[in-house]
Structure 1
């Protein structure tokens, strides 16, 4: 075993691997909410490639295998929108999600154009593990948005 996980910027060649991991990781969310039509499960490879091109993505590798990823993009007002923090089910509960969150924040905190003023992300109201992680990392709830009878999105934010 003895391999360590490394975190680096994702590139275009990683898109297909990220999409497969995303599909695997969001199965639990789909089951939790009884909805397999959620965007992470229906996103196309072309849409993912476009998302990677317009923002910044990180991947965590165990050897050559991508085992986790996160994406972010900054808007002109200085809000960094962090999305799709995913960790392979067998790699969960080892601090990898927290490491990726720290790394994406650090990337945008060091980017002066535009200067990051706040970090923002969202998750479903029943996604307790996600909510615990985000709160532990200093995020506080700033809004909720009811998507339907089974899902309310919780938006969390912290200052950069």
Structure 2
């Protein structure tokens, strides 16, 4: 390819590219669970724009193309809720998801003193589970959503910037 992937804050005009990428990336999840009505495949552009406005959204760019994205927000109790980590299928397996997630964790901690990170994935999503476990997330609960899907919630403690600076 010759170009490096840069991670930055999403811009308002990225919404359409993010939504198209989200639709592409969640096809495999929908097939895995036999459910094409999952929220990432039904989300509207207006809903995504609202997410961009109220939370932190990062994108990975290869030139001008958005090839990855992740979203997060910090709740009042200091829990950073992370969602919709997506990487273009042709870019998967090269550490981009790991880089996006680490960049988001860092920004959420710097900007809002997140105390812990929380995310969820489906029980059959082995690649996601492996990635999250490898990054220190541990399962804290499982919720049966339907006969085909159980969501596994995973968490890890945030490393405070004071601790990281002194380590």
TM range (shorter): over 0.9
Counterpart position of 1:19: 19
- Distance across 2 between alignment mates of 1:82 and 1:11: 18
Partner of 2:147: 149
Map of 1:85 onto structure 2 = 85
Give the match for residue 129 of structure 2.
131
Instruction: Work out the CA distance in 1 between the residues paired with 2:86 and 2:135.
Output: 16
Task: Tell me how far apart the structure 2 counterparts of residues 134 and 104 of structure 1 sit (CA, whole Å).
Answer: 14
1:27-70 Cα offsets, whole Å, 9 max, x none, are 00000000000000000000001111110000000111100000
- Rounded to whole Å, the distance in 2 between the matches of 1:144 and 1:31 is 21
Query: TM-score of the superposition, structure 2-length normalised?
Result: 0.94
Match of 2:120 in 1: 122
1:158 equivalent in structure 2: 156
Which deviations, in whole Å up to 9, do the C-alpha atoms of 1:60-93 show, x marking residues without a partner? 0011110000000000100000000000000000
Deviation track 1:81-123 (CA, whole Å, cap 9, x = no partner) reads: 0000000000000000000000000001111x4x211000000
RMSD: 0.5
Structure 1 position 72 matched with structure 2 position 72? yes
Question: Aligned equivalents of 2:153 and 2:123: distance in 1?
Answer: 10
Gap regions ≥5 residues in structure 2: 159-167
Distance 2:6 2:48 in 1: 22
CA distance in 2: counterparts of 1:27 and 1:130, whole angstroms: 15
Partners of 1:102 and 1:118 lie apart in 2 by 13
TM-score (norm 1): 0.98
Distance 1:44 1:25 in 2: 16
Q: Output the CA distance in 2 between the equivalents of 1:55 and 1:32.
A: 29
Query: Moved runs in structure 1, 4+ residues, more than 2 A?
Result: none
Q: How many residues align?
A: 158
Note the residue ranges of structure 1 that are not aligned, 5 or more in a row: none
